[in-house]
Structures are given as C-alpha cells and as structure tokens.
Structure 1
Amino acid sequence: MPIGTRPLHGNGLTSAHAHTHFFGAGKIQELRSELVSDKRDSKYAKKKAVLKRIVANMTMGNDMSPLFPDVIACLSIPNLEVKKMVYLYVTNYCRSKPEMARMAAPYFEKDVNDANPLIRALAIRSMGYIHIDRVVDGFCDPLRHCLRDPDPYVRKTAAVGVAKLFMHDPSLAESEGFLEILRNMLGDSNPAVVSNAVAALVEISERSPNYQLEMSMSTANRLANVLNECSEWGQGYILEALLYAVPQELGEAELLAERVVSRLQHANSFVVLATVKLLVYLLNYMSREEDVKGFSTKLGPPLISLLSHGPEVQYVALRNILLIIQKYPEMLHADVHTFFCKYDEPIYIKLSKLEIIFRLATEDNAREVLSELREYASEIDVDFVRRAVRCIGRLGIKLEQSSQMCIALLLELIQTRVSYVVQEAVIVMKDIFRRYPNQYENVIPILCENLDDLDQPEAKVAMVWIIGQYAERVDNAEGILESFVDTFKEEHTEVQLALLTAAVKLFLKRPAAGQELVPKLLKWATEEVDNPDLRDRGFIYWRLLSTNPAAAKSIILSDKPEISTEADHMDPVMLEELLLHIASLSSIYHKSPAMFINGAKIRTLPVSQVLNTRTTPVS
C-alpha cells in the first residue's frame, strides 16, 4: 500500500460496497438541494447520507464535480465523519479540477489547528495529496507545526506528509529542513511515530537520486530496541531501514543481528523476510566463520515455515531461498526433502522447488533425490516431467560420483518410450558425454533405437551431435545421418547446422563412409539454403576440406572443453545486489530493479573496514 494511503474502512467511512443503496443515478440538482437544505438535521444524519451518495457516485465514475462548492461548504460542519467524506471528495477531484481545489485551502488551514487531533491529522494528510500551488505553498507551516504536535497520531501522519511533499517538490522539502526534522523524529518517544518517520526516510532515500539515508550504529541499535512496540507494518520498515546502518567495528554486526534475530519467529511473513534480508546483509560484516555459519543456519527454519502458507507466499519464499542458497548452501543442505513436490501443488511452485532440489543435491543425498525425481518423471504435467528429466541430467554433470546412477535412471526412462521423456533424456545425455568423454559410449546404441521418437529440434540436434562426435564407434553412423538428411531442407536451422558438422566429422574420421554424404550437404548448404549462418559454415567446411584437410581435422575434431554446472551460478555482483533486495519484486524476478523500474537505485554493499571479501559459498 502506498505511503499515507488507508482503506476507506480504516478512516471510519462506511464501505460503498456494503451499502449499495447509495449507488443511484444521483441527479446533481437533487443532491445539491439535499446538501444545502436548512431543515433540522439531528447529528448531521441527512448531510452524512447525501455525502455518502455523492462519494458512492464518484467512486462509480459519475462526475460529481459540479457539486464542489456545496460539498466544500460542508467542511464548516464540526463532524469528523463529514470531514472525512469531504476530504475524500476533494482529493479525488484535486488533479482534474485544480481551480476548485484552491477553494478548500482556507478550510485546510483552519482544520490543522482544530482541537481534535483526528481532524488535524486528517487535514494534514489530505493536504499532502493535493499538489496545487496554493495548497502546497500553505502546506509547509502546518506540516512543520504538526511534526511537533503533542499528539503522536498527528506526528506520525505528518511524518508521512513529508514524504509526499518530497515526491512533489524535493528542493522545497530539503530547504525547509523537513528531512532533518524526520531524522530527529527517529528518537521520538512513540514507536508509531518512529516507524512512520523511518518509513518516510526509506521511501525518500529509495526514490531520490540525490538523497541517501545514512544511519549510525547507535541509531540502528536504538531502532532495534523499539521493534517489539511497533506494529507489523512499522517493524518491516524499521528492519528495512537498518540496511542503511554500516558496521564499522568488529562485533557491531553480530550485536545488531542478535537484537533482531527473534523477529524470525514472527507470525507475519513480511516481517520474517525483512529480518532475513537484514541478517543476510549483516553476514557480510561478520569476521568469524562460526558467527557466519551460526546466523546463516538460523535462517533456514523460518524460511521453511513460510512454505506452510498459501501458494503465493510459498512462491515468494522459494524464489528468495533460491537466491540465498547460492551464497549459503549449507543453510538447507539437510532439508532437501522439505522441497519435495506434492502432486496438487501449482506448477510454478513445483518448478521453483525443482531448482532448489538441484542446488541442494549432494553426493550424500543423491540417491534420495534421484528416487524423488524418478517419481516426477511419471507425472501427468508434461512441462514438469521435462524439467525433472533435465534435472537428472544436470545432476549427472554436477555429481561425478553419482553420475552412474543418473545415467542408469535416464536409460530406465528411455525404456518407457514416452516421446517427450525420451527426447529430454537424449538432450541431457549429450551434455553427459561432454562432461565425461569416452566413458559412457556404450549407451549410444540404446539412444539410436529411439530415433523415431525424436521430433523436437533440440532433441534432434543432441542426437546428431552424438552420432557425429562418436562416428568412428557407431557402426551405422552414415545410415543414421542419412535418415535425417532426407528431410534436411525442411529441418530447423539448428538441426541443419548440426547435420552439416556431423557429416564432416564422419568424413574426417571415416572418409569412405562420408564421401557421398558430405558433398550433397555442402551443395545444399551453399546453393539451396537462404540462412546466412548455414551458408557460411558450408563455405568454410568446403574450403577447409578442399585446401587443407589436416587443418580441417585439427579444427573440427579438436577436443571440446568439459562442461560443468558453473553456468547455473548467478554472477556474484548480481547475486549480491539481489540479496539486498530480498522480499521484493527484484528477488522474485531475479533481476536488478534498474531493469524494470526507471530511476531505481543500484544497491551495493557499503565499504567498511570489517566488510569481508567472501565470494565463494560458505561450506
């Protein structure tokens, strides 16, 4: 919810949805006559009724602006409910009818000095919404007065008003000294005032290109002390603000972490994730490995507890867990079973869990994980089955000692002859051959038995690559490639490129077997195909083979670098930034805020003499 906004119910205004009888045609003249009627009106009941009708019609999109003078006149009525409806009306039309909004300025200035603190707060809140010159010009003095109001409700409302003023006119807010007043309010005796002041400062710091919130460790510890007295909303903002405190001495990060770690047990998921973000930030300033391991281990149980919430909260938790375990994998290594999928979970939950399972898999739990993935490979959801089979192959690359188990499972899945399972298995087998050259070629005949099941370009590319790479060991390599060549001109470009390379490899390894196939493909690639990549590759191969066969052999048959799962690791700089955005859209998208929000600031770890330089995961 944006700063300073409150639902109508929270202001005491009856929900329009709860009283549909107020939604009528609302003829302007009829409403006006009722509004200006001088009949006896006990406790302003009639005025309230007609104002509710006006607000209801306004909410439904009917133009009630012709009633502006008559509605504004109701501000003279000393009744809080009436004033709430009138101010709601004014703020709704202030942008489209600025000349009318100016008519309300005298009433605002009067109400900020009202004896009732609720009316003072209502007036200062409403003024913050109206960005009309006369209202803004008259806003500074009442705002300054309300920031020092004896009533905490008025002070906390005024604190949010500073943020609204800053968004409209940053230079005015700074020149009038409001930012300094806000900083002083961090020491207010009322926790609600402190949390609103913190919220305003954080919002200003995040949105302003020129202002950066800075916080001493003494201020940070003072804010940590008031956490227990704040609302859930206030706790979240205070925890967010503590990220602006930079430990400078040994032990400061550990002390602050100890003060907030109890928030991990909070019932509110927002507070839990805000605490997780703060602790992950503070881990960067802890010097002793035992402290880093101790606090990182404490992050696991509360994150797992979030998986008992609804699917939306689960998804947010899973996406954040996926970030954290890339730097602190030991945090959940013993809990991989927690992320095993349930049959009735939404697909987005299952896919997120599958990625976490892959990252938490080790040689110790490989058998348990593979057994679970075997179950997933027999589910109904085709996309999930594909991901599960691919995950098995990735584990075969990641876990060298368990690769034999992974390959055995893949071969078992191939025997099912389920088309999409076979195709995914072929795709990942190609990567396994790259990872372990000359070790598992005995499975190639089994793969060749399933050629008829391959209809996807990626699967065909994988199979063709395998045949070309091991052409000297596949007895019928030329026959297999010929079966693909029959549809060469209709194949996807990637398949055509793979066929061309595989045929040349066959020719270089077994000239007699490829001497008819290669000229045919080279002629098609250079004369009858429009794709420039395919044509260029054809010309390169042709010239290499015709001018320097030895060079062709050394280039085309050169040893390929072994592949690994390193490509699955996020860039360390990006990971550090995303860890500072836990519990935000950025941590769900796994993208920097600057990539989808104009003007968003890039967060980095502030330099400090106790900032550690750990770039590899803690083990």
Structure 2
Amino acid sequence: MDIAATCINDIIRQLEDPTILCDPAACRNLMAKVMNMIGRGVDVSNLSPHIAKLLAHPDPMVKKVACEFVCVQTEKSSDLMLLVVNSLLRDCSDSSPMTRGLSLRTLSSLRQESASEHILQAVQKGLVDHSSYVRRIAILSAVRLHRLSPDLVIEMGIVDKLYSLIRDSDPVVVVNCLLALEEILKDEGGVVINQKMVYHLLLSMPKFTSWGQAYVLTLLKKYTLKSEEETFDILNILDTHLQESSYSVFMHSLQLFLLYISTLPHLKEKVLFRCKEMFVSGLNSGNVELTYSIIVFIENFLDDSKSVFCECYKSFFCRFKEPPYLKIRKIEILPRLVTPHNFLEILGELRMYCSEVSSMVSFSAMKAIGQISKQDTDYFDRCVQKLEELLEIPEDSVWANVLQVFELLDLRSYARLDNLMQIICSKSHLQPTNENGCCANLFLIGEYGHLLDDSPYILEEFIGNYLEECPDVIRTYLLTAVMKLFLMRPAKCQHLLGRLLEVCVASRNKDLNSKAYNYYYLLKQGPEFAKEIVLNKRFSH
C-alpha cells in the first residue's frame, strides 16, 4: 500500500473517532491534511462520505472546508450529492445567516441537474430572507440555477422576484439583482430599464460602492430619454457625479452625460471644459494605470473638442519613469493637440523623445513629428528639419526610423531637399541588414534620387553587392527605385533596369514577378506612357 492510501485510511479512522469529531482543532488539522493532498493531486474520493458528515459540524471553519470539498467531489459522484443535499437544505434554515448563506452557496454549486429542484427551493427561500447577506447569495445562486436549468428559473417567477428586489434597502442586493437579470435575460437584451428605475437608481447612487456605481451607470445607457424636460431632470441628478473622487465613477458618469446630451451637441464642449480639471488631475497623478485609462477615454473626444484639451497639452508630456506603452500613447495624442501657440514647444518635446532608449518610443516620436508636418505648411519645414538633424546620430536604428518617417511624407516642397538627399545618399546605410530602413532608403532614392547625379551609381553598387542575398521585399523596392530613375535618366540606368528585370522575372515570388512583368509591358507601350503611370504623382505636382 502506498503512502497516500495509508494517509487516507488514517484520516478515515480519525474521522470515525467521536473524540476527534468533538475537537474543533483536531478536525481543522484533518481538513488541512485533506486540502494539502488535493493540492498535490491525490485522489481523495474515498473520503467523500466521511467529510460529507462534517457539513453538520458546529465549527464554522470545518463546515466551510467541508462545503468546498463536496462542491468538487459531487461532480464525480452522484451518490455523494444525495448525501449532502438534505444536510445543506437543513442548514438553509439555520439561525445563523452565515450558515444559511454558506449552505445556499454550496447547494447552488452542485452542478447536477437532478439538484435543480432543491436549489430552487433554497433560492426562493433565500430571496425573502431577512438577512441581506443571504439575499445577496440567493441572487447569485439564481444565476447558477439558470445556467443549470434555464426554463425552471423563468417558469417559477424568479425573474419577477429579482426585479422587485431592485428596490431593496441593501445596495449590494440591488447591484447583484441587476447583474443577475443582465445574465439571465441576456438573450432578450438584458435587464429592462424604465423611467422609475432610472430615477430610483440615480437617487440611490450614494449608497453603492464605486464599482456598483460604475456598473449602474453602464446599465443606464440602455434607457432612452422621452422628452427634453426629462433630459434636464436626469442631467441635474447626474451632474453631482461629474465631480466624484472615484475616476471610474467620474468617467462612467461623463459617458452617460454625453450620451444624454447627444441631441444637444452645443452642450458637449461646455461639459468637457467643466471636467477638464478632473482630467488634468488624473493625468498628473503619477498613477500609470489611471493615466492610461484617462488617455484612452479622452481620445474619443479629441477630434470634436480639441480646444478643451489644447490648453492642458503639458499634461500629456512623458515622464522619465513612465513605461514605454504609456509614453507611446501620450506621444500619439500630442500631434492632435498642436496649435500655432504650442507648436514649437510640442515639437521640441517630441524631438527629445526621439533619443529615448526604447526604440518603439523613439520611432513613435518621429512619426508624431511627421504627422504634425502634414497639418500645416507653416509646420512642414521645421518638422522635416528636426528629423533631418536626427540623421547626424551615428545609430543605424535611428537612421532607419527617420527614413521610414520620410517615406510617409511628400518631401517635394521641402526647401532643403537637395541637401537632405545628399546626406541620405552619402551615408553607407543602404544595406539589407535593417529591412525596413533599407526599403525606405530605396524608396527615397527612387522618389527624389533624380536630384543627385550619383544616385544611379549608389543603386548600381547595391545591386552588385547585395542583389543575390537580399529578400524579395527589398528587391521589390529596388525594382521600383531603378524603374523611376530610369524614366528620369534612361542613359545611366538602362543596364541596371535590364539586369534587375531579368532577375525579377525569374523570381518565384509572385508579387515581384508580377511587378517586373508590369513594368516590362509599360515600357513596351513607350516611355511617356510609363512616366504617366509610374511617375504620376510627380507629374501632377
């Protein structure tokens, strides 16, 4: 006999000893051993009938552990369920509300349909119990019963009883009822919110916990206002919650407020302006999770109410100890807050982030500068110049990131474009080691390389050194770059294009192969026709 079996037999022997059963401390030690064995994966099913008897034990701790044990074991044995149901039903009438609640919760955890009638009996009794604790358990037990036997819950009028308990004096009972109804009626759209319920819940809000208030406010979004008078009545009640100390309640209140004034759009900016101090306080709180939540929340209103948040743009500046994901989210918002008055300060701040240790933060800052450059022609040259300064940093990753941002911009109007292209083409960074950077570099040479005499020679050197080893995505960019330069300078690029087309036509990559054939057929139609297609953007300038 192994050690586990010996230990189980020893526990059974002790559980049959009346002396030990009368000693709460000894029983607790035995139950601790049982739970330890369960934690180690030992099969303790032989203990089930003996521990089931402990459901009637007077010690609350022993009773609680016994309840946890039978909840698990009854799934494996229907015979055990018959043993425990009567004991649990008897305890549902105990004088102690804690015992009644524990027994009801255990009974509703028996996941066998044959127990449905017994659970229903206990739930119906628990819903009218004078103890709020038992009523709370009974409501949640109704949800478990619905999962076990949906038709029984509907037929026996449990839903109506739950609706009536929404006016209960205990706030937790009220929230539990709403949760239960939302779950039970989810196929029908959840709990039905009417006018009386809206007023009752809003006036009862101070009694609820912060979580309960947030949940109630979420459910109130279901209600459709009937008149303008009703709208202002409810908004007056809701108004007090816009200054809540709990940010969860504050944000849910504001969401509901904005939903209710959707027919009065002229009020939206005034409401947001009034809440600005709460937003700024949260953004400057130093709480990373709260700051992130507020930023995600604010993003929904930035486009319509930019003026509200432009004044507090400094609250979106990154802090040294903030995690990268939060810095990136702040950086993504800053371009949307730019005005002629704060442009230079935001640009300088973003330029500083470009030197961040995190490459993701650095790249996000560069992209943000690129986005700002597109907003106004007055911003363009300054933004591109800031990005150009980054090319002086002797770091391949920085170089690659800057080129990827340049790839997204139309640089034809940049006053220093000739100088920028000289910098790009004078560096020895055109290597396939950084795929994204190399592709961006090739794109820029193809797009603006006609401004430099030596751009064909740079591509010729790249083809000679790396054509055989570079991946197909780089070959695709290379083919486009050579094609564009050929259309501008055919004499210098003819041999390059011929060699490259030959390689690409023979490629097994369908995209590359297709692009090579397309360029070949365009050239057969004549150079002017090819220019009109390939260089269309440049010609339309």
User: TM-score, normalised on structure 2?
Assistant: 0.89
Residue 32 of structure 1 aligns with which residue? 12
Q: CA deviation at 1:405?
A: 1.7
Q: CA deviation at 1:76?
A: 2.5
- The answer to whether structure 1 residue 416 and structure 2 residue 386 are counterparts is no
- The answer to whether structure 1 residue 525 and structure 2 residue 504 are counterparts is yes
Q: CA deviation at 1:523?
A: 1.3
Residue 74 of structure 1 aligns with which residue? 54
Provide the C-alpha distance between the structure 2 equivalents of 1:433 and 1:467, rounded to a whole number of angstroms: 13
- The answer to whether structure 1 residue 155 and structure 2 residue 135 are counterparts is yes
- Return closer, same or farther for 1:68/1:189 CA change in 2, 3 Å cut-off: same
Q: CA deviation at 1:281?
A: 4.2
Deviates more, 1:398-407 or 1:251-260: 251-260
CA RMSD of aligned residues (A): 2.9
- Return closer, same or farther for 1:95/1:314 CA change in 2, 3 Å cut-off: farther
Provide the C-alpha distance between the structure 2 equivalents of 1:295 and 1:94, rounded to a whole number of angstroms: 56
Contact 2:381 2:414 in 1 (8 A): no
- Return closer, same or farther for 1:248/1:345 CA change in 2, 3 Å cut-off: same
Alignment of 1:437-456 (within 5 A): 437=413, 441-442=417-418, 443-452=420-429, 455-456=433-434
Q: CA deviation at 1:88?
A: 1.5
SS at match of 2:187: coil
Provide the C-alpha distance between the structure 1 equivalents of 2:266 and 2:122, rounded to a whole number of angstroms: 53
Contact 2:15 2:21 in 1 (8 A): no
SS at match of 2:321: coil
- Return closer, same or farther for 1:210/1:424 CA change in 2, 3 Å cut-off: same
- Return closer, same or farther for 1:37/1:301 CA change in 2, 3 Å cut-off: farther
- Return closer, same or farther for 1:336/1:438 CA change in 2, 3 Å cut-off: closer
Alignment of 1:252-331 (within 5 A): 252-253=230-231, 255-263=233-241, 265-268=243-246, 272-286=247-261, 287-307=263-283, 308=285, 310-323=287-300, 325=302, 328-331=305-308
- Return closer, same or farther for 1:234/1:280 CA change in 2, 3 Å cut-off: closer
SS at match of 2:514: helix
1:369-405: per-residue Cα shift (whole Å, max 9, x none)? Answer: 1111122122322332222222222222234432222
- Return closer, same or farther for 1:253/1:544 CA change in 2, 3 Å cut-off: same
Provide the C-alpha distance between the structure 2 equivalents of 1:496 and 1:144, rounded to a whole number of angstroms: 73
- Return closer, same or farther for 1:465/1:297 CA change in 2, 3 Å cut-off: same
Provide the C-alpha distance between the structure 1 equivalents of 2:423 and 2:42, rounded to a whole number of angstroms: 71
The residue type equivalent to 1:515 in the other structure is Q
Deviates more, 1:497-506 or 1:209-218: 209-218
Contact 1:306 1:313 in 2 (8 A): yes
1:195-247: per-residue Cα shift (whole Å, max 9, x none)? Answer: 21122223445xx3344322113312211211211233433332232232222
Residue 379 of structure 1 aligns with which residue? 356
Q: CA deviation at 1:105?
A: 0.8
SS at match of 1:332: helix
1:451-499: per-residue Cα shift (whole Å, max 9, x none)? Answer: 4365422222222222222344222231222233222232232321222
SS at match of 1:367: helix
- Return closer, same or farther for 1:395/1:181 CA change in 2, 3 Å cut-off: same
Residue 458 of structure 2 aligns with which residue? 480
Contact 1:423 1:453 in 2 (8 A): no
Deviates more, 1:327-336 or 1:196-205: 327-336
- The answer to whether structure 1 residue 94 and structure 2 residue 94 are counterparts is no
The residue type equivalent to 1:245 in the other structure is Y
Residue 479 of structure 2 aligns with which residue? 500
Residue 555 of structure 1 aligns with which residue? 533
Q: Which of the pair is proportionally richer in helix?
A: 2
1:320-376: per-residue Cα shift (whole Å, max 9, x none)? Answer: 444554565445332222122222222222222222323333443221111111221
- The answer to whether structure 1 residue 247 and structure 2 residue 222 are counterparts is no
The residue type equivalent to 1:276 in the other structure is M
Residue 204 of structure 2 aligns with which residue? 226
Alignment of 1:388-399 (within 5 A): 388-399=365-376
Contact 2:20 2:27 in 1 (8 A): no
Q: CA deviation at 1:312?
A: 4.3
- Return closer, same or farther for 1:42/1:172 CA change in 2, 3 Å cut-off: closer
Residue 566 of structure 1 aligns with which residue? none
SS at match of 2:355: coil
SS at match of 1:149: coil
Provide the C-alpha distance between the structure 2 equivalents of 1:33 and 1:263, rounded to a whole number of angstroms: 61
Q: 1:166 aligns with which of 130, 137, 146?
A: 146
Alignment of 1:46-125 (within 5 A): 46-125=26-105
The residue type equivalent to 1:559 in the other structure is K
Provide the C-alpha distance between the structure 2 equivalents of 1:346 and 1:315, rounded to a whole number of angstroms: 10
The residue type equivalent to 1:373 in the other structure is L
- The answer to whether structure 1 residue 334 and structure 2 residue 314 are counterparts is no
Q: CA deviation at 1:106?
A: 0.8
Point out where structure 2 has 5 or more consecutive residues left out of the alignment: none
Contact 2:435 2:474 in 1 (8 A): yes
Q: CA deviation at 1:157?
A: 1.4
Provide the C-alpha distance between the structure 1 equivalents of 2:184 and 2:166, rounded to a whole number of angstroms: 15
- Return closer, same or farther for 1:184/1:39 CA change in 2, 3 Å cut-off: same
Deviates more, 1:59-68 or 1:142-151: 59-68
Residue 365 of structure 1 aligns with which residue? 342
- Return closer, same or farther for 1:171/1:228 CA change in 2, 3 Å cut-off: same
Taking CA–CA contacts closer than 8 Å with sequence separation of 6 or more, which of the two structures ends up with the larger relative contact order? 1
Deviates more, 1:476-485 or 1:246-255: 246-255
User: TM-score, normalised on structure 1?
Assistant: 0.78
Q: CA deviation at 1:409?
A: 0.7
Provide the C-alpha distance between the structure 1 equivalents of 2:6 and 2:41, rounded to a whole number of angstroms: 12
Q: CA deviation at 1:193?
A: 1.4
Contact 1:162 1:173 in 2 (8 A): yes
Provide the C-alpha distance between the structure 2 equivalents of 1:66 and 1:324, rounded to a whole number of angstroms: 62
Contact 1:147 1:158 in 2 (8 A): yes
- Return closer, same or farther for 1:154/1:385 CA change in 2, 3 Å cut-off: same
Q: CA deviation at 1:143?
A: 0.8
The residue type equivalent to 1:358 in the other structure is P
- Return closer, same or farther for 1:250/1:424 CA change in 2, 3 Å cut-off: same
Contact 1:394 1:428 in 2 (8 A): no
Provide the C-alpha distance between the structure 2 equivalents of 1:453 and 1:507, rounded to a whole number of angstroms: 19
- Return closer, same or farther for 1:181/1:310 CA change in 2, 3 Å cut-off: same
The residue type equivalent to 2:146 in the other structure is F
The residue type equivalent to 1:288 in the other structure is L
Point out where structure 1 has 5 or more consecutive residues left out of the alignment: 1-23, 563-619
Contact 1:257 1:279 in 2 (8 A): no
Provide the C-alpha distance between the structure 2 equivalents of 1:391 and 1:72, rounded to a whole number of angstroms: 66
The residue type equivalent to 1:188 in the other structure is D
Contact 2:241 2:253 in 1 (8 A): no
The residue type equivalent to 2:516 in the other structure is G
- Return closer, same or farther for 1:40/1:465 CA change in 2, 3 Å cut-off: closer
- Return closer, same or farther for 1:87/1:560 CA change in 2, 3 Å cut-off: farther
1:561-583: per-residue Cα shift (whole Å, max 9, x none)? Answer: 99xxxxxxxxxxxxxxxxxxxxx
Which has more radius of gyration? 2
Contact 1:121 1:154 in 2 (8 A): yes
The residue type equivalent to 1:508 in the other structure is L
Contact 2:181 2:190 in 1 (8 A): no
